[in-house]
Structure 1
Amino acid sequence: MTRLTLPSLAALLTLAACDAPADGPVQDPEPAERLATGPLTPAGPAQTVTADADVNLQHAAAVVELDEIQGQGTLTAKLFGTAGGDPAMNGLYVHAAFFLSPAEGWRVFRIGDVLDYRVLSTGPGRVELEIDESVMDPETSEIGSRTRRMILGWAPGAEGAPPETVTVTPAQ
């Protein structure tokens, strides 16, 4: 029979802790792991859902990207992109939005028409973005692409109210 001494038991527990999952949210299993459990089977009657006739949902359905802007104090801010332009020449309309109130909704600023955007960093009153966009050569009418950076800035209004204007500054 093997006997564990107190020092050996402590070492064994230390090694075991190295494999313990970190505290935090439980992750959904990878799709392959979910498939390994087999397909779902009905567990009750199906409910039929009809299309929602709210005209405002047409605008919401066009949203294809959404980024909350953290670290703005009491100001609620986000960037979002809507599809709707010519996909051969950009087509992602990028907006910054600041929440006014439940009755007034959002104050929205259109930032540009691009192929894609990435948030590089955020800070109070500032978002640094990298933009991919289509550009047309005026001499040849050929469409090319470029990547550029910009700083989206604003100053909150009195008592943290949403800004009246924003600035878009080219950056390196």
Structure 2
Amino acid sequence: MARLLITVTALAALLSIAACDEIPGVSTSTTITKKSAPLTADGPAAPLAAVDSPDGAIQRAAAVVRVDPLPDQNAKLFGVGGGDPAMNGLDAHIAFFRSPAEGWAVYRIGDILDYTVLSTAPGRVDLDLRESTMDSATGQIGDRHRKVIVQWTVGADGAAPAAVTVTPAA
């Protein structure tokens, strides 16, 4: 049963990543090819049932709209969609795998429009964050870019870090 739940959760996350191609302001590291000719059915259709889990894990997985693995870091950046996409709407996180029993150590970077990975190094990722701004006098929505350094010290034997920091950068 646990293996089925993991498989369904992974499938939901992959489907949500594929679906976000049509959400304005949200990008993924997955490229969807649209140049292929439509497939022709070759057998009977199999119906799928809507899936949910009592703890809401499937719904949370479906909210993932972007995933960027960090090579050789046992880590990934990911974004969860939600809220008003005109004013940010991508809740960005960095996560470090602990173990199958413990899952991931997850740290929230912030609510932004989008991020670009500028560079990576052991214990570090440099990001360009794109954020919505609101002019309180006029009510006009604008946007800005700010650069940050996300750093951590890897634990003993590659364990997840105990702390992560975000530092403004030029």
Partner of 1:94: 92
Partner of 2:59: 58
Q: Deviations over 1:52-76 (max 9, x none)?
A: 122201001111111001132xxx1
2: CA distance, partners of 1:112 / 1:67: 16
Contact 1:135 1:145 in 2 (8 A): yes
Q: Secondary structure at the match of 1:49?
A: coil
Structure 1: which amino acid aligns with 2:126? E
Q: Secondary structure at the match of 2:58?
A: helix
Q: Give the alignment of 1:1-40 within 5 angstroms.
A: 31-32=34-35, 34-35=36-37, 39-40=38-39
Partner of 1:44: 43
RMSD of equivalent CA atoms: 1.5
Q: Give the alignment of 1:1-172 within 5 angstroms.
A: 31-32=34-35, 34-35=36-37, 39-54=38-53, 55-72=56-73, 76-172=74-170
Structure 2: which amino acid aligns with 1:135? T
Q: TM-score, normalised by structure 2?
A: 0.74
Q: Deviations over 1:90-145 (max 9, x none)?
A: 11100000011111110100001100001111110000101110122344443221
Quote how far apart the aligned CAs of 1:159 are.
1.7
2: CA distance, partners of 1:118 / 1:110: 16
2: CA distance, partners of 1:61 / 1:31: 22
1: CA distance, partners of 2:100 / 2:60: 18
Q: TM-score, normalised by structure 1?
A: 0.74
Could you tell me the percent identity over the aligned residues? 57
Structure 1: 5+ residue stretches without partners: 1-29
Structure 2: which amino acid aligns with 1:45? P
Alignment length, in residue pairs? 136
2: CA distance, partners of 1:157 / 1:149: 26
Distance change >3 Å, CA 31–CA 136, structure 1 → 2: closer
